Chain A
Amino acid sequence: NAGVTQTPKFQVLKTGQSMTLQCAQDMNHNSMYWYRQDPGMGLRLIYYSASEGTTDKGEVPNGYNVSRLNKREFSLRLESAAPSQTSVYFCASSLGDTQYFGPGTRLTVL
C-alpha cells in the first residue's frame, strides 16, 4: 500500500509556463483534495473532489484547474504560472473524516 503519492517532488517554473501536478491514491477513497501550504498560512484548500466525476472550488481556486481522472487520480493544473503560486502543494484523500496526505510537491515559480 503506497497510500497517497505525488509527482513531481520538486519543480521550478518560469512565469507563464504551465504544468500538471499528479496525485494518486490506492486506498479506494472517494474524496480527494488539493491544498497549498505557505509559511505562516496553514493549509488552504484549492479544489476538492467529493467523488469520482465531481469537483468543487475550495478557498483559493484562482489560477488552478483540476481533473478527477478516475477514482484513484486527481491532478492539479497551473495554466500560466505566477510567482504567487510558489508554494508546497499537498494532495490528500479520505473515505470518511480522516484525510491522508501525500508527501507534497515543492513548486518555485521564477
Chain B
Amino acid sequence: GENVEQHPSTLSVQEGDSAVIKCTYSDSASNYFPWYKQELGKRPQLIIDIRSNVGEKKDQRIAVTLNKTAKHFSLHITETQPEDSAVYFCAPRGWAGSYQLTFGKGTKLSVIP
C-alpha cells in the first residue's frame, strides 16, 4: 500500500507569514494529490487538489506544488490568518483505478495573531 509522510507535524507562524507543509508518498502510480483541512471538532474538507499532469495550482492564498520525480507535494499558505489554524492532511491516491485515498498523519498549524 501507499506510505505517506507529512512534515512538520506541528507548525506555528505569525499572522501574515507563510506556511509550507510537505507530503511524501511511495507509490509512483499515484496520480491525484489533495489537501484536506480539519478545524477543531469539525469534519475534514477538501481545500485544494492537483493531478499528476500539473506542476502547480493556486487558489487565492493557497497553492499546491507537485514533484512527481521526487514523489512529494506541498501545501503553501500565504498571508496566514487566524482562521487558517487547523489540522491539514495530505491524501494521495495510490492506485489509478481506485478512489481510495491514503491520509497522512496531519500537520497542526497554529497562526499566532
Contact = CB atoms under 8 A, between A and B. Distances in A.
Contacts, number: 48
Interface in B71-113: 89, 91, 93, 98-106
A97 B32 contact: yes
B76 to A, nearest CB: 20
Chain B, interface SS category: loop
Contacts of B32: 97
A11 B42 CA distance: 17
B105 A97 contact: no
B44 A48 contact: no
Given A59-B1, A103-B43, A42 B89 contact: yes
Interface of A: 31, 35, 40-45, 48, 50, 58-59, 90, 94, 96-99, 101-104
Interface of B: 1, 9, 32, 34, 42-46, 49, 89, 91, 93, 98-106
